[in-house]
Amino acid sequence: MNIVAKFILIVCGIFISTASYAGLQCPVIPLPNNSENVNESFVLNTNTIIKVRDDQFESNGYYLKNSVLSFTGISVCGMEKKSHSAIVLKQDKSIAEPEGYRITMDHRQVTVKASTDAGMFYGITSLLQLIMEADSLHQGHVKIACWNIEDAPQFRWRGFMLDESRHFFGKEEVKKLLDVMAMFKLNRFHWHLTDEPGWRLEIKQYPKLSLVGGIGNYSDSLAPARFYTQDDIREIVQYAKSRHITVIPEIDMPGHASAANRAYPEYRGGGSAKHPDFTFNPGKKETYQYLSNILKEVSILFPSNMIHIGGDEVSFGNQQWHQDQGIQKLMREKGFTGLKQVENYFIAGMIDSLSQLGVTALGWDEITHAPVDPDKAIVFWWRHDKPEELKAALDNGFRVVVCPRLPFYLDFVQRYADPVGRRWGGKYNTLKDLYYFSLDSFPVQENQLGQILGIQCNLWTERVSSNYFLEYMTFPRLVAMAESAWTSKDKQADFDGFLKRLKGILLYFDKKGVGYCCP
């Protein structure tokens, strides 16, 4: 082979290598908004040290060390020597976005920078995913592809709601879910703890709420009482906090109150044949004090300073309000001509009670029309078939979390042949639907985009009675939503690219015993 031929082959080889390297997609989920492959490898082994340059990141360093040990079996070194590779955690106040981070990598050092504890945590979760994607453990080391990443979230509210009234799953399952949420940078756990089938939260002032109201579930009305003690709640709240997840409880009112009314029937407002004892009684002054006492105790247990009060589907069981003397008296005194006005009066009163506690009220989109100061409440738009309710919430000045049934309800089936789960006029929620969700087709004006806090998946559990099926319905769809919530639409990859990155995540699920539906 002559010199010219050799030169051409070398140039072609460089071109092919460079083109291949440039076409690589960062394997992290959610996909970082900016990433560049360095074309080097960092070797992680027992001689690798973790340097925490700022005291505020000590807990992050601890989390990283333990996660590396869990993922790889490698105990990183605690002693610093010049020859060792290093992972450095360092504050960088120039990073303006509180949840933003930067990662720089070469064969000698990984540096993770952030201005806040939350940003550092998200940088660490991206690094952990790169470690998960690396070559398997070989002779005591893992070889990690190097990426430079600069990243920050699209939305600040990236949520998941779990209904444990209808079926109860327990503390260890909740922790398992929180672990997965943290890995994909989800930061709001909305915990639906009360509804018709069961009351799942211990209230010291009203012990029968859990002891009596906790009896039964959606499948078996006589199942033994199951609920979370206040010590359980504190443990889970702290566990979530260490993963930068805020826990928001939901105490449903004035409807969906059947479990509470079994325990304390003196506050019930009636129901319907299908939904007996469905409502609290808005015509009794004692009802407001009773519920205010409950909410005060709940606010102490959950330091988020947010409580979701439901407020939906009251018409399912308010027919007896027409006959209740106290409610009829209230209507005459206030000049109300319909039950919706009674409902709105109740909602406004409970939101004011929460405001006096320094707590922001959250509610389903039915609260939009109550006489409420929008600074005191956040609306969750869930009725996909009523986009006018999203428009009304925004026009009235409310902050909004977007969680429409299509595509964000995980109790809807995800494949045409799935036998268990809901559908809406034949429609259901596929992995691809969640991945490609966009606000573009909804009535949101450009000047209202700042009112959209973020998006959330909701898992109602009428049809979900086992821990395995909970995970099957949740994953990997929640992972797809996580990318929709974090990654800017102009940076988001195509669905095929997402599926390629998802392969490594499913191996992680297998290792951790997390159930999922094969995509």
Alpha carbon of residue 410 to chain centroid: 12
Amino acid symbol at 414: Q
> 3-state class of 265 per DSSP?
helix
Determine which one of 313, 352, 395, 418 is catalytic: 313
Q: 146: alpha, beta or left, given left = phi > 0 and alpha = psi -120 to 50?
A: beta
**CA-closest candidate to residue 424, choices 367, 484, 390, 382:** 382
Q: How far apart, in whole angstroms, are the C-alpha atoms of residue 52 and residue 41? A: 22
Active site residue 418: no
Residue 9 exposed, middle or buried by CB count within 10 Å (0-12, 13-18, 19+): exposed
Active site residue 141: no
Helices 467-474/477-486 angle, 10° precision:
40
Do the Cβ atoms of 166 and 217 come closer than 8 Å? yes
Do the Cβ atoms of 257 and 278 come closer than 8 Å? yes
Which neighbouring-strand residues pair with 200? none
Q: How far apart, in whole angstroms, are the C-alpha atoms of residue 274 and residue 252? A: 18
DSSP code, position 326: H
Structure token digits, residue 244: 């930068």
Element (H, E) at 119: helix 117-133
Alpha carbon of residue 14 to chain centroid: 44
Active site residue 256: yes
Structure token digits, residue 509: 């699920």
Compute CA distances 491 → 154, 337, 339, 456, 505, whole Å.
Answer: 10, 52, 48, 20, 20
Determine which one of 192, 256, 275, 308 is catalytic: 256
Determine which one of 195, 312, 324, 483 is catalytic: 195
Q: Which residues are catalytic?
A: 195, 256, 313
